[in-house]
Amino acid sequence: MKKFAVQDHDLVPPHILLSPEEAEQVLQQYGVEARQLPKIHVSDPVAKEIGAKVGDVIKVLRISPTARQAVFYRLVID
């Protein structure tokens, strides 16, 4: 059986795990609290793959049909 990385799938945009400092910077930039960010479950296949823990912030580099690339952030929740 072959191993397949979820992030290699066409439908999955690149997910980047941010360090606490980087996450803090993002929150400062947008002037929001972490709980106001969109969420991602810690059990999400991609979150598992990149080893995210509850409370981490994940940066998603979406491929947008209008802007080509759009940056999106998600807070890892239980």
Partner 1 sequence: MSLSEEQREQISGLGLPQSIQEALLDGLENEQFTKAQFDEVIGQVKSDYDHAGVEPCEAVGVIAAQSIGEPGTQMTMRTFHYAGVAEINVTLGLPRLIEIVDARKIPSTPTMTIRLEPDYARDRDLAREVAWAIESTSILHLGSIATDLAEMNVLIELNHEALAQRKITDEEVAETLRSETGLAVEMRDGMLVMAPEEPSYRELLQLVEKIKRLSLKGIDGIKRVVIRKEGDEYVLYTEGSALKEVLEFEGVDPARTKTNNINEIGEVLGIEAARNAIINEATDTLREQGLSVDVRHIMLVADIMTCDGEVKQIGRHGVSGEKASVLARAAFEVTVNHILDAAVRGDIDDLRGVTENVIVGQPIQLGTGDVQLVAKRRDEVIQ
Binding site for partner 1 (CB under 8 A): 1-2, 4, 6, 8-13, 15, 38-41, 44-47, 60, 62, 64-70, 74, 77
Contact 17, 51 (CB under 8 A): yes
CB of 15 to partner 1, least distance (A): 7
CB of 12 to partner 1, least distance (A): 5
Report the side by side order of strands in the sheet with 57-64: 15-17, 57-64, 68-77, 39-41
CB of 51 to partner 1, least distance (A): 14
